[in-house]
Amino acid sequence: MSERGSPSFAAWKIYLLVVVPATILLNLTFPNFHAPDDYDHVKRAYTLDHAPFRVITPEGRSSGALVDSGLSEYIDAEAPLVKSGAALTSEQRLQLRQNRSIKWSGKPSFSEMPGALSYFPLLYAPQTAALEVGRRVGATVETSVLWARLANGFAGIVLAGIGLYFLRGGQAIVLFLLLLPRTLLQFASNSADPILYGLALVIVAVGLKTARSARIRSSAVAAALFVAAAVRPPIAALALAPAVQALRNRQWLNFALLSAGCAAAAVWMLTILPSITEQRCGDLGKVGPKLQTFAFHWPQLIGNSFVDRGLYYYVSFIGHYGWGDGRIGMAGAPMPMWLYGTALALFAFAVWKDLVSPFKLPAILRVSLVLSAAFSLLLTFLAMYVGCTAFGRPVIDGVQGRYFVTVLFALAPAVSGLLSRHSSGNLERPYLTSIAAWSLASIAVMLINSAQLYGTLS
């Protein structure tokens, strides 16, 4: 965690030393589909090699696509057992073991996945490759999905490691975010989060360097923007700081590339969303009146949401077991209480470490980072208000604490170095020691709890 603004060798090395074995162990001990919406992500990964842009909407049902019937059978058998995060009975553990024998059938069947169909499928390339290898070599569905989880997690680790390596300020906060229990569990899942987190961090870290770098880096940031924003549109707001950097240095091609990445993501969403029907959430009201309501009342709606669901946001930010239900603000099975308290103290340490670090950044870039974080947060609540909340509700449904991680990626370098005159010595070693020890302890707890909940080590 360099104090001179050079690449943070200690931070990225600590990250890799912790996250690589953690990802392997958590994948081996937590069952498939333990994380929110995991099976929809697997189905979307499957479609990348099987008509990725085809949307099927049977009458009276939500939109979906054709997937292997063996995969559908495995999802139907596995998901109900692990979604709640509650400890399984002996009969349920037996069923979990029996699911291991389900094989690919080679026969297509329709499966609903209206939310995942809007995600640009390129993000799932690592999972698709793993699923196809498993299918072609005769592996069971469970083994194939496990390989997809590993491919997904390690693709995210590579991207996050690159972002952390190039990040000049805010390394302490970002390292904390990357080693949260919730983040580690997402990296051991089929979720889009591992690669989205990695892409978002690359956008922030490498994007701020575009003024002094080759155009290939701007192209990489633009590509990252497209892939990430075509899955989670609020991430597009993170383009603001790199765009301001390009304009400051009159790098018009860089600015054009960034704009093109955001525009391409917008075109994808505007093209795909009208073709998707979502029946599972019921009648949410017309989009026009909801947009008007949000435009005039967003402070109250977001404020009410934080007041009503602040505790849920915190728990789902730090971590819990199972899916929970973001629509009603209910977390899954909680982790040990000491994790939530010590996480708050460690986050405060990370913030202080970054505040007093000797990091310099032009004021206009600090402001642009803050604005990009604010816009990303605002767009997150808007998306959930339009897509998950019934018209007239005083709070916004569907928002989860893990959605704030990419927002904080932008805020981290924005606050770094603001109190550098108040530095009280080198905090690098005590901070890295603290975050490594805390993370290893939380990983040990999760491994123990997994055996207790699912009996996966038996």
pLDDT of residue 5: 46
The pLDDT tens digits of the residues spanning 129-159 come to 999 999 999 999 999 999 999 999 999 999 9
In whole angstroms, what separates CA 222 from the centre of its chain? 19
Judge whether 134 lies within some domain.
no
- Checking if the pLDDT of 326 tops 50, the result is yes
9 class by beta-carbon count within 10 Å (0-12 exposed, 13-18 middle, 19+ buried):
exposed
Q: DSSP assignment of 399-452, as one string?
A: --GGGGHHHHHHHHHHHTTTTGGG--S--HHHHHHHHHHHHHHHHHHHHHHHHH
The pLDDT tens digits of the residues spanning 166-187 come to 998 999 999 999 999 999 999 9
Judge whether 98 lies within some domain.
no
Judge whether 242 lies within some domain.
yes
- Percentage with pLDDT > 90 across the chain: 79
Helix, strand, coil % in the chain, rounded to nearest 5: 70, 5, 30
The pLDDT tens digits of the residues spanning 373-406 come to 999 999 999 999 998 898 889 999 999 999 999 9
Judge whether 81 lies within some domain.
no
Domain that holds residue 357: 9-33+155-454
pLDDT of residue 7: 44
Domain count, the chain: 1
Report the pLDDT averaged over residues 270-298: 88
Q: Compute the distance between CA of residue 114 and CA of residue 279 in angstroms, rounded to an integer.
A: 9
- Checking if the pLDDT of 320 tops 90, the result is yes
pLDDT of residue 215: 67
Judge whether 79 lies within some domain.
no
Judge whether 358 lies within some domain.
yes
Q: Are 102 and 73 in contact (CB under 8 A)?
A: yes
pLDDT of residue 424: 63
Q: What token pair was written down for 30?
A: 């937590």
Helices (H), 167-251: 171-178, 181-187, 193-207, 215-229, 240-248
The pLDDT tens digits of the residues spanning 71-80 come to 999 999 999 9
Judge whether 87 lies within some domain.
no
Q: Compute the distance between CA of residue 255 and CA of residue 222 in angstroms, rounded to an integer.
A: 9
The pLDDT tens digits of the residues spanning 209-232 come to 744 455 667 788 999 999 999 999
The model carries a pTM of: 0.94
- Checking if the pLDDT of 282 tops 90, the result is no
Judge whether 71 lies within some domain.
no
pLDDT of residue 437: 96
Residue 273 or residue 456, greater confidence:
273
Q: 456's torsion region: left (phi>0), alpha (psi -120 to 50) or beta?
A: alpha
- How confident is the prediction for the chain on average, in pLDDT? 92
pLDDT of residue 458: 52
